[in-house]
A and B are shown apart, each in its own frame.
Chain A
């Protein structure tokens, strides 16, 4: 079987996973990134608000959280989360490697989004807040409907870049055996001894897949930004 046929035959496993272990491959990488970025984003709104707060009791834990999660390699965070949480049944789910990967990536996303959100919150023009208060808006109302949307809008390019980065970072889940694209590439190579000379074509394909996915995600983010803000930022439309 020549190299091209080999790659073609391996595509299903690379893109959506091995039979019985689907979703897997690239599909799983995207799902992992998608879920953790969304949930992490919500958490980050909370942490970002806390670290922008004037009260020390709120600011310090949030800053500590961000600092710890950002200070350790993601691969270590993964193992740590898997070690601690895999015996606990959370919301009816079992402690599988995939669940640990989701938890770790969510915490990771939250920590990486919290800072831009904090910066965004601190850059809200005071006039805007004053106007809202004058119109009778309560503090929490102002936060949710005025400050946070402004913060997110102004930090949007940075946030989406970060999201695409997190998608690429999902490749480290290979270390706890989650069947994502990187892991499946390894498995495809190991499945048959005849494949042992196919490292280059296979990994070129894997690289190309990540590249294409990052490109598509960046374009999507750019289009979303256009809809949301009504103009493109000065950010280069090259993939992140």
Chain B
């Protein structure tokens, strides 16, 4: 093993990798859910809902992810007076348990980063899925409704999968971009892979080695994620067709 890649360094990088994967999974599901909600909101009969969804998409697509992360992590706590801040955001039953469970020292920052990423990716997906929704032939919806499908069933079994299927490349691309964005959470001390790498670089004073190694790891993650999404598309989405 190369002398710069000590056992401790490798362990710390792996710890970071685990957090990255966890963060990716949480934000992927969150973004898909939010994207679906926004997409249908944009096509709602209620004008208020249409406008609200549209505004949300506009705001969270156009503000960079990093700015959102900083905002949720640092700016939001300032809405609470200084004396109560710690009790609400950092030091109560909820946060202390999360800390113990996940090993993340400041859970609120991780939650804030995840929320920012979900809002950002969800807004983008909202646009993409909306496009996908419009490609579903009206007959399909009609026939499902005739067969007695309720509104939720209609959405879950026909509209949503159909929209995802037809907009799949764009959805996949956005989800992979989101995975790479998890590296931005390092700015608010979330101990994911990029953050671990930064620590190792300062500890050992060896930048190129760790940068190249972690670049390789991200490439591997992107490839694995891409293949997983392909599998999901082939089996889960296509399989639903009658």
Q: Could you tell me which A residues sit within 8 Å of B by CB distance?
A: 67-68, 70-77, 79-80, 83-84, 168-169, 171-172, 174-175, 182, 197, 199-200, 202-204, 206-207, 210-211, 214-215, 236, 238-240
Contact = CB atoms under 8 A, between A and B. Distances in A.
Interface string B146-190: 000000000000000000000000000000000011011011000
B58 interface: yes
Interface string B55-78: 001110111111110110011101
A168 B219 contact: no
Interface of B: 54, 57-59, 61-68, 70-71, 74-76, 78-79, 127, 180-181, 183-184, 186-187, 194, 207-208, 211-212, 214-215, 218-219, 222-223
Contact of B218 (A73, A79, A172): A73
Contacts of B63: 168, 207, 210-211
Contacts of A172: 64, 66, 184
Contacts of B58: 211, 238-239
B223 A76 contact: no
Contacts of B64: 168-169, 171-172, 182, 210
11 contacts: A76-B211, A83-B207, A171-B66, A174-B187, A206-B67, A207-B68, A207-B71, A210-B63, A210-B64, A214-B62, A238-B54
Contacts, number: 101
Given A68-B219, A80-B215, A210-B67, A73 B180 contact: yes
Nearest to B131: A236
A240 B63 CA distance: 11
Nearest to B197: A76
Nearest to A170: B64
A65 to B, nearest CB: 13
A238 B126 CA distance: 13
A175 B218 CA distance: 18
B78 A73 contact: no
A211 B59 CA distance: 7
Given A75-B183, A76-B215, A200-B76, 16 more contacts: A72-B218, A75-B186, A76-B194, A83-B207, A83-B208, A84-B208, A171-B64, A171-B65, A172-B64, A182-B64, A182-B67, A199-B78, A207-B59, A214-B62, A236-B127, A239-B62
Given A84-B208, A171-B66, A211-B59, A200 B219 contact: no
Q: Which 4 A-B pairs have the closest CB atoms?
A: A199-B75, A171-B64, A73-B180, A73-B183
Given A76-B211, A83-B207, A175-B187, A71 B62 contact: no
A84 B58 CA distance: 38
A174 B76 CA distance: 21
Contacts of A215: 62
Contacts of A77: 215
A171 B62 CA distance: 12
Given A75-B194, A203-B71, A174 B66 contact: yes
B8 to A, nearest CB: 22
Nearest to A218: B62
A240 B67 contact: no
Contacts of B127: 236
Given A72-B215, A172-B184, A207-B67, A200 B79 contact: yes
Given A75-B183, A211-B59, A182 B66 contact: yes
A207 B70 CA distance: 11
Contacts of B214: 76
Contacts of A83: 207-208, 211
